[in-house]
Structure 1
Amino acid sequence: MLKLQNVTKEFRIGAFGGKSVAAVQGVSFEIVPGEVVSLIGESGSGKSTIGRMILGLNPVTRGSITFDGLPVKAGKEYYRHVQGIFQDPFSSFNPVFKADRVFAMIKETYYPAVPEAEWDERVTTSLSDVRLNAGQVLGKYPHQLSGGQLQRLLIARALLLDIKLLVADEITSMLDASTRIDVLNLLAELKVRGLSVLYITHDLSLGNYLAERTVVLRRGSVVEMGLTEAVFGDPLHPYTRELLSAVPRLHESWDDAVPVEACLYHERGASGGLLEAEPGHLVACARLATCREEAS
């Protein structure tokens, strides 16, 4: 359904834009219908830049992104099938408009001929699907609702369209623990209904909870990807192991964490691409066996 092939994004820098910096370098992966893929990496690794390119908000410098075999092109028809939800739900709403304005805009743009009564019924059903009561959220200003309610409103808005892919960029990072699980469970339910999700996060535990496949990003490049159980159960790249070692564990003190050696492959800038260590489990390391021994 969605396919990225050798995608690179460079930004111009300097007083006159005479230099450039690569935020994303040669990234390739796919998302199939009904699949949740976690894109994981530390802050500044290029995760959100990839999400914005998929949404057509930033142009691709080199490479290609296709959706259903066609090049991604921002516009009304594309956004009928692909929607994004971002980290700060409050920034997605105009504070001077009530929350139901987001649904009115969908009707004006995509369904102007639908009678008001039928549209109201669709909105009520969509809100019910995300466990919101229309009477409790419609007619209220964004500041009168919680972050979790606003995120679910945005998901409900997406469901009113013929959506196939949801780009969820750090959508739980501003939510408390209980609300975070509610939103994740909602995404899992939508997956069962056939919706694909690109779940962008720096939180490995949430990625492990939700996704069938995981893509690990470091400094704009993919260093490991495969089935989530393989990537988390047998991480092959030193950077992936370092990320996993940094996940807090209730039964361990901070001093119990085992340091992981840096990856010589990246430090020396060697090339070699992704190696298939086992079927469907790829890792970016030209000296895989040696690195595994050095980090064990």
Structure 2
Amino acid sequence: MSALLEVEDVSRVYRTGGLFAARRVTAVDGVSLQLEAGRPEILTVVGESGSGKTTLARMILGMVPPSTGAIRFKGKDLADIRGSRARLAFMKEVQPVFQNPFEAFNPMKRLDRYLFATARRMAGVEGEAAIRDAADGALKEVGLSLAEVRGRYPHELSGGQLQRVAIARALISKPALLVADEPVSMIDASLRASIVNLLRGLRERRGVSIIYITHDLATAYYVSDRILIMRHGKVVESGEARAVLDDPQHPYSQLLKSSVLSPEVPPTGAAFHA
């Protein structure tokens, strides 16, 4: 089976400090992972703040290049994606969902404008009626509709609703991969289950693979097919999610489980059903 995404021994090093006090900080250190084409799954990257998980997500999205190693999407090295046309083709297939939905949208711009522009530019939809249908179809997949969103500004929606709009926007171009960076951390706890369940549903209905970045081991336990646990830029443990989280081998993984997953958390993730 061919690979959808290959991350091969990537590292990212930043230089900080002034001219005479410069130092190197390794945000990601030798990380490898792979997603197979035709086998949609949710791969969760878990780690506390500073573990390197967001830097890894930014590299997969092509926002920053790796210092060493290679990232390939459908066999093409991201380093070779140059020019606006090639970049647009990549973005159609690999879409982000960011942590704070209120920062993802200009507060002075109506939300439907974003959806319509994405349908035109990213999906190549032509004609006003077809563009409206594309936006409405994507919104309905996340439990909303164009009638509910049209003409409204970001501040007029709740955080959960706005994150759903962000996910709908990402779906318009029919991507093969979503990279969701802490998509529930800025949302009220009572609404997190709906977003987590939505991601699971998209994998099943759409056949889209998802890289789910989180510090929340409880949602990771529920949503993941596979899991990588990161600490100080390195992967300390990885594998099938239930196996890793039920019986962690690395001391750091064991510490995470003991501090986050209580015995009351049901193994089926039933606590997260909305």
**For the superposition of Structure 1 and Structure 2, which TM-score range results when normalised by the shorter chain?**
0.7 to 0.9
The CA deviation at 1:112 is: 5.4
SS at match of 2:167: helix
SS at match of 1:101: helix
Structure 2 contact 237–250 (Cα < 8 Å) conserved: yes
Which residue of the partner structure matches residue 190 of structure 1? 202
Which residue of the partner structure matches residue 77 of structure 1? 89
Q: Choose from 231, 246, 261 the match for 1:218.
A: 231
SS at match of 1:114: coil
Distance 1:96 1:20, change over 3 A: same
The CA deviation at 1:199 is: 0.4
Which residue of the partner structure matches residue 128 of structure 2? 116
The CA deviation at 1:251 is: 6.1
SS at match of 2:185: coil
In the TM superposition, what are the counterparts of 1:254-269 in structure 2 within 5 Å? none
Residue 172 of structure 1 aligns with an amino acid whose one-letter code is: V
Report the TM-score, using the length of structure 1 for normalisation. 0.81
Q: Deviations over 1:151-196 (max 9, x none)?
A: 1111111111030000000000111233111111111111012100
State, as a whole percentage, how many aligned pairs show the same letter: 42
Q: Choose from 26, 29, 53 the match for 1:22.
A: 26
The reply on whether 1:233 has 2:262 as its aligned counterpart is no
- Give structure 1 stretches of 5+ with no counterpart: 253-296
The CA deviation at 1:111 is: 4.8
Q: How many residues align?
A: 252
The reply on whether 1:155 has 2:159 as its aligned counterpart is no
Which residue of the partner structure matches residue 53 of structure 1? 59
The CA deviation at 1:25 is: 0.3
Report the TM-score, using the length of structure 2 for normalisation. 0.88
Q: Choose from 67, 90, 99 the match for 1:87.
A: 99
SS at match of 2:248: coil
- RMSD over aligned CA atoms reads 1.7
Distance 1:159 1:251, change over 3 A: closer
Which of 1 and 2 has greater Rg? Answer: 1
Q: Choose from 144, 151, 162 the match for 1:132.
A: 144
In the TM superposition, what are the counterparts of 1:4-15 in structure 2 within 5 Å? 4-15=7-18
- CA distance in structure 2 between the partners assigned to 1:140 and 1:113 by the alignment: 22
SS at match of 2:260: coil
- Give structure 2 stretches of 5+ with no counterpart: 266-274
- CA distance in structure 2 between the partners assigned to 1:41 and 1:220 by the alignment: 9
Which residue of the partner structure matches residue 209 of structure 1? 222
Residue 198 of structure 1 aligns with an amino acid whose one-letter code is: I
